Structure formats: C-alpha cells, structure tokens
Amino acid sequence: MIAYEDLKIRNMVKCHNRARSIYDASWYQFRLWIEHFAKKFGKTAIAVSPNNTSQECCICGKKVKKELKVRVHSCGCGLVIHRDINAAINILLKAKSSLGHRQSNATGVVASTLVGAILLEQATIDMLSDRLCLNL
C-alpha cells in the first residue's frame, strides 16, 4: 500500500509565495507516477485528506496547533517527534482505516533505518506498536 496526501494543488498555488516552488516540484506528475507504479506492481495507492496530518498527534489524536516553521511535534502525551514523521504516520493511519485494516502488519511502515531510528528515539515502542498495530 502507498498512502499519500490528496493535496489540492490549485488551492496551494493561490499563495504566491509558494506557487513557484510548488509548480517547480511538479507534485501532480509525482502523484501520477505513484498511481501508475502502484498499479504496475499490484499495490494500492490511497489518497487521504491532508487535514491536520501534521497537527494531530499520531499517538493520542490530540490536535497540537503549530506554525509551518515549527518542525517538531511535541504533545502533552509525551510524544516528541519531527512533524513530518508525525504526519507520515497519520497519513498511514488514515489510509489503513479507509481500507478497514485494524490488526494487520504494516509492512513498510519503517521503510529505512533512519526513520526507524528516529521513531524509536522519539517515542516508546509500546506507544507506536499499539497505535500502528505493529508487532515490535
């Protein structure tokens, strides 16, 4: 499974400060590639709503408001994690819930040793394994 945010690019480029970098990044083309290669390799590509993916705590679900310049998600439940990793976990959780997965192994969640190291440093294994239904 490949999960990604269903970003509304037209709305995002209305902010002229970011429009050029968004167009330069060719996000729409990237989305097409994700969908093409998912189909080619028999995987499911799921676009999820981007609402609050970096604001909501991936462990307790509490909304922790922060400006875009704040790069660390720090929640009252004790989780301190990079906001992009928090968002990635929330995107995965939204995609899994849309498929109805509750107790399946989430293969590929920790895709690299760097991500794995950050997750294990920033949160307890029990908190993540319970929330993501992993057998860690």
- pLDDT tens for each residue of 68-121: 899 999 999 999 999 999 999 999 999 988 886 443 334 444 344 445 545 545
Q: Are 46 and 99 in contact (CB under 8 A)?
A: yes
More confident residue, 132 or 122: 132
**For residue 21, what are the domain limits?**
1-49
| Domain limit, last residue, from 31, 49, 67 | 49
What is the DSSP secondary-structure string of 69-90?
T--EEE-TTS-EEEHHHHHHHH
Give the total number of structural domains in the chain. Answer: 2
Q: What is the pTM of this model?
A: 0.67
Query: Strand, helix or coil at 18?
Result: helix
Rounded Cα distance between 44 and 55, Å, is 26
Instruction: List Cβ neighbours of 110 (8 Å cut-off, separation of 6 or more).
Output: 116, 119
Average pLDDT over residues 41-62: 94
Task: Give yes or no: residues 43 and 58 share one domain.
Answer: no
Task: Give yes or no: residues 74 and 112 share one domain.
Answer: yes
Task: Give yes or no: residues 56 and 44 share one domain.
Answer: no
Q: Closest by alpha carbon to 75, among 53, 87, 59?
A: 59
Q: Report the pLDDT value the prediction gives residue 135, as an integer from 0 to 100.
A: 47
Average pLDDT over residues 36-45: 93
| Domain limit, last residue, from 9, 34, 49 | 49
Q: Which residue has the tokens 């950050």?
A: 118
Task: Give yes or no: residues 75 and 117 share one domain.
Answer: yes
Task: Give yes or no: residues 10 and 57 share one domain.
Answer: no
Task: Give yes or no: residues 43 and 56 share one domain.
Answer: no
Task: Give yes or no: residues 69 and 6 share one domain.
Answer: no
